[in-house]
Amino acid sequence: MTSPTSPTSPTGSSRTPRRITPGLAGAPTDVDVVVVGLGVTGAGVALDAASRGLRVLAVDAHDLAFGTSRFSSKLVHGGLRYLASGQVAIAHESAVERGILMETTAPHLTHPLPSLIPLGPGVSRPLGALAGAGLVGGDLLRRAARTSADTLPRPRRLSAAETRQLAPPLRTEGLRGGLLGWDGQLEDDARLVTTIARTAADRGAAVHTHARVVAATGTSVQLRDELTGADLAVTCRTVVNAAGVWAGDLVDDVRLRPSRGTHLVLRPEALPHLAVAVFAPIPGETNRFVLVLPQPDGQLYVGLTDEPVDGPVPDVAEPTEVEIGFLLDVVSASFARPLRRSDVVGAFAGLRPLLDTSDGAGEGSTADLSRKHAVLTSPSGVVTIVGGKLTTYRRMAQDAVDAAVASAGLTAGPCVTATLPLLGAAPREALAEEAARADHPGRARLVRRYGADAGLVLDAALEASGWAADEVLAPIAPGHATVPTVWAELFFGITHEGAADVADLLDRRTRVGLVPADREVAVPAAQRALEVVAAHARQSGR
Ligand SMILES: Cc1cc2nc3c(=O)[nH]c(=O)nc-3n(C[C@H](O)[C@H](O)[C@H](O)COP(=O)(O)OP(=O)(O)OC[C@H]3O[C@@H](n4cnc5c(N)ncnc54)[C@H](O)[C@@H]3O)c2cc1C
């Protein structure tokens, strides 16, 4: 493994990594595979195909992680929920993919998350026993997937005192104890997508943001550069449609039935000293919970809902006041201090790309639609990959590329992504030590968000800005502790990660935008970063 401050990639190569490009300038016009969409699925497909030796062009109409992939719960799930409904194969697949992500491909972007089910008045003894059995089942899944107990410790029953210690703001009346389990958590979902896309580019894929596919056959696509309005025709051997909830816009024979999931963002003070995720039982439901999820930056997310979405699919889904009220009510029942509407500093919603397999659309609950992914080859030859989840993106990509290679008769190497670390990957403990040793809090933050590529990010920021190290490592909004982002993150987003505007920087390369008040404070910095990089490039004749 490379040192966290080395500009080399974990593959040992010291060449300059290929960068993600906004717009279609320099895009190839003849490739093996065109990938439509750069959410987690499309980024995974681009990486899978490029690492098998195929010539790849991967594009997104907006930006990396523009769609559902940035609005997830940011969990790396082990598939317990599928086990509960008897879907053993999907549960096993999820647990295997969780292990690959946490132990091999992205230890730098994932960490174990302790989760607590408080055994209070809202959880009857039979329900508590059921939840306990579920955690034991989850641990069996972990073992079957050969994930180490060092990565995800075994679950255990806690006394009432231990429960209170881990989650001081819990309601204590009637608290009998708790159940402690472990799952994986992402540093950030959009950062995972960006890192997969960057790794795909490093493996030779041409990755372009702000480039929309307006029409596709199995052997050609028409593209529009959303920055300049220019058109481009590209010939290819196969097209993989990974456009998420918009996949049906490109092919007639794929029908989706999206469901909306909403999360709230709270400041840490709303539920102080919460060191674990808490499962708050939904009254009247068996084994369904609202989750309170502490984030690496200290914020708390509360989610999640499951509401069918009818009509046209919006670019960005909006949470409703009814959903916000529901989440506040459920969580308040488990904590000593009821949450108020004023505790909510942000709210976001994502759309699950669920495949509609029913005869008559619009019937039944979206919670019943299969979460398993599907690969569908249209009569035109376009291969569509939908469904699934963030945790299983690698397997989804493998299945999609297998299908595309078979249907187009391509010659490609075997899938290697299960053993291919993403850029910046290094053992979690080594990175933690590196962050602890860092001589500047900004540098420690870069190690947390870019792993072994922290040095590359810093060097790129210095070069792109012409600023001093202390300046690029400084927070972009001094005096606003809720905006810990540093300048180097913005500069690197522009130079290496295909960010073209303020929204790319604040809503996807960083997640400042999840809290509107923080976003407002950060907008001038994002504008300045774009100006500085453009001016410095002009001066240095690039
Ligand atoms: C609320 C919620 C919470 C979730 N939580 C979790 C979780 O904790 N863990 C987990 O494992 N999974 C979770 N999931 C599931 C997971 O987030 C999704 O399955 C996954 O993000 C879908 O990714 P995708 O790449 O298929 O779609 P998207 O992320 O939506 O990407 C599709 C992309 O295609 C682009 N596009 C569309 N049309 C075109 C076009 N014509 N040309 C070019 N580009 C185009 C869009 O701009 C978009 O960026 C959650 C889902 C939801 C809704």
**What stretch of H or E contains 239?**
strand 238-241
Tell me the C-alpha to C-alpha distance, in Å, between residue 499 and each of 160, 510, 527. Answer: 48, 11, 12
Q: Cα separation of 303 and 122, whole Å? A: 18
Percent of the chain with pLDDT over 70: 94
| 368-400 per-position pLDDT tens digit | 445 688 999 999 999 999 999 999 999 999 999
**What pLDDT band is residue 82 in, cutting at 50, 70 and 90?**
confident
The pLDDT value recorded for residue 331 is: 96
CA 9 / ligand 1 centre spacing (Å): 27
Q: Whose CA is nearest to atom 10 of ligand 1?
A: 390
CA 71 / ligand 1 centre spacing (Å): 8
Q: Whose CA is nearest to atom 37 of ligand 1?
A: 243
DSSP, collapsed to helix, strand or coil, labels residue 167 as: coil
Ligand 1 pocket mutation pick from 69, 183, 254 by most atoms within 8 angstroms of CB? 69
Q: Which atom of ligand 1 is nearest to the CA of 74?
A: 8
43 close to ligand 1 (CB < 6 Angstrom) = no
| 224-254 per-position pLDDT tens digit | 999 999 999 999 999 999 999 999 999 988 8
> Which residues have CB under 8 Å from 160's CB, separation 6+?
172, 175, 176, 177, 178
Q: Is 60 exceeded by the pLDDT of residue 12?
A: no
**What pLDDT band is residue 221 in, cutting at 50, 70 and 90?**
very high
Please, are residues 123 and 205 in contact by the beta-carbon 8 Å criterion?
A: no
59 close to ligand 1 (CB < 6 Angstrom) = yes
Whole-angstrom distance between the N-terminal and C-terminal Cα of the chain?
32
The pLDDT value recorded for residue 466 is: 95
- Per-residue pLDDT, averaged over 309-331, amounts to 94
> Which residues have CB under 8 Å from 126's CB, separation 6+?
none
Q: Which atom of ligand 1 is nearest to the CA of 243?
A: 34
Please, are residues 234 and 27 in contact by the beta-carbon 8 Å criterion?
A: yes
Q: Which atom of ligand 1 is nearest to the CA of 351?
A: 53
CA 306 / ligand 1 centre spacing (Å): 15
| 156-196 per-position pLDDT tens digit | 999 999 999 999 999 999 999 999 999 999 999 999 999 99
| 98-128 per-position pLDDT tens digit | 999 999 999 999 999 999 999 999 889 998 9
Q: Cα separation of 321 and 399, whole Å? A: 39
One-letter amino acid for residue 92 of the chain: H
Q: Is 60 exceeded by the pLDDT of residue 367?
A: no
CA 461 / ligand 1 centre spacing (Å): 29
The pLDDT value recorded for residue 324 is: 97
Determine how many CB atoms are found less than 10 A away from the CB of residue 358. Answer: 13
Percent of the chain with pLDDT over 90: 83
| Extended beta strands in 155-258, E state | 156-158, 177-186, 206-209, 211-216, 220-225, 231-235, 238-241
| 454-512 per-position pLDDT tens digit | 999 999 999 999 999 999 999 999 999 999 999 999 999 999 999 999 999 999 999 99
**What pLDDT band is residue 255 in, cutting at 50, 70 and 90?**
confident
Q: Whose CA is nearest to atom 33 of ligand 1?
A: 37
DSSP, collapsed to helix, strand or coil, labels residue 190 as: helix
72 close to ligand 1 (CB < 6 Angstrom) = yes
CA 353 / ligand 1 centre spacing (Å): 7
The secondary structure of residue 206, as a DSSP letter, is E
Q: Is 80 exceeded by the pLDDT of residue 83?
A: no
| 422-447 per-position pLDDT tens digit | 999 999 999 999 999 999 999 999 99
**What pLDDT band is residue 286 in, cutting at 50, 70 and 90?**
confident
60 close to ligand 1 (CB < 6 Angstrom) = yes
37 close to ligand 1 (CB < 6 Angstrom) = yes
Q: Cα separation of 318 and 268, whole Å? A: 23
Please, are residues 447 and 4 in contact by the beta-carbon 8 Å criterion?
A: yes
Q: Which atom of ligand 1 is nearest to the CA of 262?
A: 1
> Which residues have CB under 8 Å from 285's CB, separation 6+?
none
Average pLDDT for the chain: 92
The pLDDT value recorded for residue 359 is: 53
Please, are residues 451 and 199 in contact by the beta-carbon 8 Å criterion?
A: no
Judged on CB neighbours under 10 Å (0-12, 13-18, 19+), 529 is: buried
394 close to ligand 1 (CB < 6 Angstrom) = no
67 close to ligand 1 (CB < 6 Angstrom) = yes
Tell me the C-alpha to C-alpha distance, in Å, between residue 324 and each of 303, 306, 334, 341. Answer: 9, 12, 16, 8
Ligand 1 pocket mutation pick from 192, 223, 246, 371 by most atoms within 8 angstroms of CB? 246
Please, are residues 158 and 175 in contact by the beta-carbon 8 Å criterion?
A: no
> Could you identify the residue written with the tokens 């190839």?
28
The pLDDT value recorded for residue 459 is: 97
Q: Which two tokens stand for residue 494?
A: 């522009």
Q: Is 50 exceeded by the pLDDT of residue 361?
A: no
Determine how many CB atoms are found less than 10 A away from the CB of residue 215. Answer: 11
- Strand 238-241 relative to strand 33-36: parallel, antiparallel, unpaired? parallel
Q: What backbone torsions phi and psi does residue 423 show, to the nearest 5 degrees?
A: -55, 135
Q: Is 70 exceeded by the pLDDT of residue 268?
A: yes
Q: Which of 205-219, 247-261, 365-379 has the highest mean pLDDT?
A: 205-219
Q: Cα separation of 224 and 511, whole Å? A: 27
Ligand 1 pocket mutation pick from 48, 63, 72 by most atoms within 8 angstroms of CB? 72
The secondary structure of residue 378, as a DSSP letter, is -
Model pTM score: 0.95
Q: How many distinct helices (H) and strands (E) make up the chain?
A: 15, 20
Ligand 1 pocket mutation pick from 389, 508, 514 by most atoms within 8 angstroms of CB? 389
Q: Which two tokens stand for residue 37?
A: 């969409």
**What stretch of H or E contains 98?**
helix 88-100
Q: Is 70 exceeded by the pLDDT of residue 366?
A: no
CA 158 / ligand 1 centre spacing (Å): 36
334 close to ligand 1 (CB < 6 Angstrom) = no
- Per-residue pLDDT, averaged over 402-412, amounts to 96
